[in-house]
Amino acid sequence: MYQRIAVTAGLLVSTFTQHAVAVDKTRDPDMVANLVTAATQLDRLSVLCSDKDWLFDFTVQQPNYNFAPGGVINMNAATFPAAKGNGMTLAMLNLGPCSMLPPHYHPRASNYVVAIKGNTTTYMFEENGARLVTEILTPGKATIFPAASMHMMVNNGCDDAQLVSALNADDAGTQNVGNVFTNGFPSELVDAAFGQSMAGAAAAAKMIPVGTGSNWGTAECMKRCGVTPTTS
């Protein structure tokens, strides 16, 4: 019963935020520009003149904060000017029951991930010829996805999972792999490369948009946990 209530609460948040997108828009380009041209750290401090300029809140008012299916919230140069020039992104990964982060990579950063809640399975391929590395992250357990490695993760449980992710760039970037094949590469070439199966109009129509960063996982899990998918 508790499960159902948690999922319903998540759905409400998700409905409210269904136009959220995982691509971070720069929230205060003028402040970032002033930080970039500041000569000294003291000059930066006068740009970040209020204490509130030093506080980032990962919780509910962030557009991607939900657990149905979930979302990725980045504290980076785009979302938090004070991060500009500090060489790091801190991210909160929310994965509701049965949700996943689809296969993706970060072009400009290595990625450390530690679980603080739930039970999340991670999968990582570093490059052609590399073996698949699989880990189960329960609270306190962490793994590393080296820069540009392909990785994905799934919460196969019926409880929420939450993880904290640290990346060594303030603009790490994220590329979802599936979307590459349906977002503009010539479809006849993609089909030739991947056995005529990846890029046709039918595949493009079915490709899950980048959305909040999270997708729903397997039908088996959704059935086992009694989760009804929503669009996000």
Q: How far apart are CA 22 and CA 139, in angstroms?
A: 25
Closest CA to 67 of 89, 34, 100: 100
Nearer to ligand NAG, 17 or 215 (CB): 215
Nearer to ligand NAG, 211 or 217 (CB): 217
Nearer to ligand NAG, 103 or 173 (CB): 103
Smallest distance, ligand NAG to C-beta of residue 121, A: 5
Nearer to ligand NAG, 75 or 225 (CB): 225
DSSP state of 229: P
State which of positions 40-79 bind ligand NAG (CB under 6 A): none
Size of the site for ligand NAG (CB under 6 A): 5
Nearer to ligand NAG, 154 or 210 (CB): 154
Return the SS3 of 230.
coil
Strand runs labelled E in 76-223: 89-95, 99-105, 111-117, 120-125, 133-137, 142-145, 150-155, 161-167, 175-176, 215-216
Nearer to ligand NAG, 89 or 119 (CB): 119
Say whether residue 136 binds ligand NAG (CB under 6 A). yes
Instruction: Please say whether the beta carbons of 66 and 161 come within 8 A.
Output: no
Q: How far apart are CA 143 and CA 111, in angstroms?
A: 8
Smallest distance, ligand NAG to C-beta of residue 101, A: 15
Smallest distance, ligand NAG to C-beta of residue 157, A: 6
Return the SS3 of 113.
strand
Burial 91-109, CB ≥16 within 10 A → b, else e: bbbbbbbbbbbbbbbbeeb
State which of positions 85-124 bind ligand NAG (CB under 6 A): 119, 121
State which of positions 150-209 bind ligand NAG (CB under 6 A): 156
Instruction: Please say whether the beta carbons of 165 and 128 come within 8 A.
Output: no
Binding mask 9-28 for ligand NAG (x = CB under 6 A): --------------------
Q: Which residue is nearest to ligand NAG (CB)?
A: 119
Nearer to ligand NAG, 136 or 192 (CB): 136
Q: How far apart are CA 60 and CA 83, in angstroms?
A: 20
Smallest distance, ligand NAG to C-beta of residue 82, A: 36
Footprint of ligand NAG (CB under 6 A): 119, 121, 136, 138, 156
